[in-house]
Amino acid sequence: MSNADDDEFHAFMSSRWPSLVRTAYLLTGSHHDAEDLAQSALARAYAKWDKVRCSDDMGAYVRKIMIHVHADRFRKRTVREWFTPRLPDIAVADGTDQLEHRSALMEALEALPQRQRFTVVLRYFEDMPPAQIAAVLGVRESTVRSQITRALAKLREGGVRAALAEQPHEAPAPSHRNVAPALRGTP
């Protein structure tokens, strides 16, 4: 790659990093795994930079790479954690713990099947239309809409709206229009 290509990639990476990490966090449920996932996606994008740069939407292309990298993680099933007999010297505060409803939302997202989680994250956190989600996932638009409908039904059954509003599970089930704003306001 030339210096101009490197500069262009660096500018793209710098501008998209927060969004990619946020999306990756919603997919993985772990800040550390999210950073690894975003970094892996950007590494693959760098290797294919000529192809990425020529695409209609570079951000969507890299998100598609990220979703494929995330799906590949489940195929490999490697253990990436090591247990040690001693604790680390310095405790580091996790900034995401400051978010009010993070745990309720993350539990609800983790309970969804993988494809439903992908569609909900891309639809409500990345504000992608169903047609674009279908292109990213390589499925029909009707499949995306049905996955979103099923995911929202599961979220309603699980009481995610009540948990986000800190109300008991007996609260009336929200409509699709009520769940989306609650989901958008989180990480």
Residue span(s) of the chain under CATH 1.10.10.10 come to 99-184
Count of Cβ atoms closer than 10 Å to residue 139 Cβ: 15
CATH topology of domain 99-184: Arc Repressor Mutant, subunit A (1.10.10)
Tens-digit pLDDT profile for residues 54-78: 888 888 899 999 999 888 876 766 5
Task: Name the pTM for this structure.
Answer: 0.50
Residue span(s) of the chain under CATH 1.10.1740 come to 3-76
Tens-digit pLDDT profile for residues 77-94: 655 666 677 766 676 666
**Alpha-carbon distance 14 to 36, whole Å?**
16
7 pLDDT more than 70:
yes
| The total number of residues written for the chain in this structure | 187
**Alpha-carbon distance 122 to 147, whole Å?**
12
Alpha-carbon torsion angle 158, 161, 162, 164, nearest 10: 110
> Residue 55 has what pLDDT?
85
Tens-digit pLDDT profile for residues 122-144: 998 888 999 999 998 999 999 99
In terms of pLDDT, which residue wins out, 48 or 175? 48
CATH topology of domain 3-76: Rna Polymerase Sigma Factor; Chain: A (1.10.1740)
Phi, psi of 89 (to 5 degrees): -65, -40
CB 171 within 8 A of CB 165: yes
